Amino acid sequence: MGQLLFVESFNSASQIRMELIDGDLYSVGSITYGFANSVNSEYLKFFDIDPGTGVITAISALDREIHDYYELPVMAVDAAGHTAKAKAVIDVVDVNDNAPLFEQNALHLRIAEDEAPGKELLKLKAYGGDANETITYTLQASTDILKYLNIDSGSGEWHS
């Protein structure tokens, strides 16, 4: 079995090579590689295999949010008609290609003028569409208001 990590953005240089060692001492001809009939037909839009070399190449963009891995059954046939099967496992590595989204698009916050410093006023929550994504919160406002508000960059909590 062959296994390779492919980055989810399109890169035709991403390849995995399947190679068969023919045990026949006097083998005649070459080995022909192809995907086995059991391959998911949807996967053929994303991968191609060179029949002469067994090199599997990504031929279109991979998106980890749609498929995080692919199992490609590969078959090799020698000149005598003998076959061998293997499985190529392609793990798709996530890249940060989705912007985070807030739970709420608009918020209205009232603060009493005598609010004690350090009190939690609000907690924002944002979600990213990528695996293992870290979201950092920042407050972009006039410098006047930044004197009175503080945002925790890791949690999204606002404090007076």
Q: 61-64: which pairs have CB atoms within 8 A and are 24 or more residues apart? A: 61/8, 61/9, 61/10, 62/6, 62/7, 62/8, 62/9, 62/10, 62/90, 62/92, 63/8, 63/92, 63/97, 64/8, 64/92, 64/93, 64/94, 64/95, 64/130, 64/131
Asked whether residue 62 falls in the same domain as residue 78, the answer is yes
Asked whether residue 27 falls in the same domain as residue 65, the answer is yes
Q: Strands, E, within 13-82: which ranges? A: 15-17, 32-35, 47-49, 55-58, 69-77
From CA 96, how far away is CA 103, in angstroms rounded?
A: 19
From CA 124, how far away is CA 38, in angstroms rounded?
A: 47
From CA 29, how far away is CA 56, in angstroms rounded?
A: 21
Number of domains in the chain: 2
What CATH code is carried by the domain that includes residue 24?
2.60.40.60
pTM for the model:
0.60
Domain that holds residue 141: 96-160
Asked whether residue 113 falls in the same domain as residue 86, the answer is no
Asked whether residue 15 falls in the same domain as residue 77, the answer is yes
Domain boundary among 93, 113, 135: 93
From CA 39, how far away is CA 43, in angstroms rounded?
A: 7
What are 43-65's pLDDT values in tens digits?
A: 999 999 999 888 888 888 888 88
Asked whether residue 32 falls in the same domain as residue 76, the answer is yes
What are 81-109's pLDDT values in tens digits?
A: 889 898 888 888 777 777 788 888 787 77
Confidence of residue 36 (pLDDT cuts 50, 70, 90): very high
Asked whether residue 63 falls in the same domain as residue 27, the answer is yes
Domain boundary among 47, 74, 93: 93
Domain boundary among 60, 75, 93: 93
pLDDT surpassing 50 at residue 1: no
Asked whether residue 83 falls in the same domain as residue 108, the answer is no
Asked whether residue 66 falls in the same domain as residue 105, the answer is no
